[in-house]
Amino acid sequence: MKAIIFILFSFYSVFAFASEETLSDLNLVKLTPDEENSIVSLGKKASDQVSQKLMKTMLADIKSVGIAEAARGWSKSVTIINDIADSFELGMTIRRPTYQYRNPINKPDTMDKLALDFFLSDESENKQYFARKIVEKDNNRYVYYQPMYVTQKCLLCHSSNMSEDVKKVLEEKYPDDHSNNLKLAALRAAIRVELPESAIKSGQ
C-alpha cells in the first residue's frame, strides 16, 4: 500500500512540476557568430517594421477618430503584428511581453522575464538586443528581443494623466490593466521575435 501511495505521489510531483516552467527547464544556448548575425538581422528587421507600422497606424487613428476611440480599437495592434510575422514566411511569431501588460496575452513567460530583466539591468547598457537559442526536443528555436521605451505620445493612453474619456474606455475594456501609470523613458516592453531552427539554419 505504501509503495502505491509513493508511486502515485511521484507521478503527481512530476506533473505538478511540469506545469510550472522554471528557468532551469529552459535549455538556453549561446549563439555562434553566424547564428547571431542571422537572428539579429531578421529580428531587427521585423521589430523595426512592427514599431514603424504601429506608430503610423496609431497616429492615423488618433487623427481620424480621436484618442479614446483609437484606444478602443487598438486590439487590432495584435493583428498588425501577426501579419508582419506571417509576411516573412519563415514560421515567425512576434509578441510584446512586458511586466506592465494591458492585454493578458503579453504577460511575460520565463524566457521573456530573462530578457526584460536584462534590459532593466546595467548589463544592457549600449546593447540593442537580447538573443538566444532555446534547445528543446523537436522544437529548437531562436528568440530575439528588442526593447521599447515610453515616449511622450504613449502617455496619452498609458499614464495617470490620461483624459477622462480615455480612462473610461480603458477601464471598461481592460479591468486588469498594468500599463496605466507609466513613466517617460521607462522600459515599456520588448518586441519578441521567435523563429524555428530551420529558418536560421537554411539561410546560412
What's the grid cell of residue 132?
Answer: 538566444
Shortest approach of ligand HEC to residue 58 CB, angstroms?
Answer: 6
Residue closer to ligand HEC, measured from CB, 114 or 156: 156
> Judged by CB under 6 A, does residue 95 bind ligand HEC?
no
What's the grid cell of residue 138?
Answer: 523537436
CB under 6 A: which stretch of 19-27, 39-47, 80-88, 148-156 binds ligand HEC?
Answer: 148-156
- Which of 38, 49, 146, 179 binds ligand HEC (CB under 6 A)? It is 179
Helical spans, DSSP H, in the chain: 2-18, 33-65, 67-72, 76-87, 110-120, 155-158, 164-173, 197-201
> Judged by CB under 6 A, does residue 151 bind ligand HEC?
yes
Instruction: Give yes or no for a contact between 142 and 200, defined as CB atoms under 8 angstroms apart.
Output: yes
Shortest approach of ligand HEC to residue 40 CB, angstroms?
Answer: 21
What's the grid cell of residue 54?
Answer: 504601429
Instruction: Give yes or no for a contact between 150 and 188, defined as CB atoms under 8 angstroms apart.
Output: yes
Distances (CA, A) of 69 to 76, 154, 186: 12, 15, 25
Shortest approach of ligand HEC to residue 156 CB, angstroms?
Answer: 4
> Judged by CB under 6 A, does residue 71 bind ligand HEC?
yes
What's the grid cell of residue 111?
Answer: 524566457
Q: At what angle do helices 33-65 and 76-87 cross, to 10 degrees?
A: 140
- Which of 147, 158, 193, 195 binds ligand HEC (CB under 6 A)? It is 158
> Judged by CB under 6 A, does residue 188 bind ligand HEC?
yes
Residues of this chain that interact with ligand HEC (CB under 6 A) are 58, 62, 67, 70-71, 74-75, 77-78, 96, 98, 101-103, 106, 148, 151, 153-154, 156-158, 179, 188-189
